[in-house]
Amino acid sequence: MVYKILIVDDDKPIVEFLNIFLTKEGYEVETAYNGRKALEKINNEKFNLILMDIMMPKMDGFEAIKKIREIMDIPIIFLTAKDSQQDKIKGFISGCDDYITKPFDLVELSLRVGVLLKRSSKLEVVSNKNIIKIKDLKINVKEHTLHKDHKEIKLTPKEFDILLLLSKNKGRIFSSNEIYERVWEQEFLENDNSLLTHIRNLREKLEDTVKNSKYIKTVWGVGYKIEKEV
């Protein structure tokens, strides 16, 4: 995997120098000369780490990091001439993961970048285990949330558990009895319509229909399933 780094600094010689150095280190590098331009790039491209100056025109590093943290969690290193203790404290409070003062040592910079990327990759693996994707749906197992096209859909606990059971076992058909006994944790009663009601409500929230089902498929006379994606 080639990591992608965004360098944000209004000092063009430093940007060019870092670009050459990090490219030789094996990274893919993009550059921006102020916080506003950096935000434009972040909204259109995926980066693994940001190296950012604080003192920049149009939008400084403190304002930029605040806006970045509102939309994503990405490793950010402040690389700046502001070396006072107060500046460092403000930097960490604002959300940076590391703080390096200019002039800096290239070996130290390389080591710090590598450590942050390694740590971030481990966290991403754990995070991915908690996320299940079905087409445009994103289920967060840990937080018990569901998003469709980045918009949250409110589900009841039982609706969420039904969807989670099917999504964790894509391709497998579950009978009504199986779903009920797993979700409700009690024996299924033939005249109990609770499951049908919950699946109907779940489909309505997903804007899913029986005839043209995008998510929950009905296998007539057998049960329900979510198909495996090819």
Helix (H) or strand (E) holding 195: helix 194-206
For the chain, residues with pLDDT lower than 50 are 126
* pTM greater than 0.95: no
Tens digits of residue pLDDT in 128-146 = 567 888 888 999 888 889 9
DSSP state, residue 229: P
Residues 106 and 138 in one domain: no
Cross-strand partners of 147: 138, 152
Q: How big is the chain by its Cα radius of gyration, in Å?
A: 24
pLDDT of residue 134: 87
Q: What is the pLDDT of residue 194?
A: 87
Q: Are residues 211 and 191 in the same domain?
A: yes
- Are 32 and 138 members of one domain? no
Q: Is the dihedral of CA 52, 55, 57, 58 positive or negative?
A: positive
- The count of domains in the chain is 2
Domain final residue, candidates 82, 103, 129: 129
- Provide the token pair at 16: 């060019």
> Residue 81: what pLDDT?
92
pLDDT at residue 124 in the model? 56
Domain containing residue 155: CATH number: 1.10.10.10
What's the pLDDT score for residue 69? 85
Q: Domain range spanning residue 180?
A: 132-226
Domain identity same for 11 and 118: yes
User: Is residue 125 located within the same domain as residue 141?
Assistant: no
pLDDT score, position 65: 92
- Predicted pLDDT at 209: 81
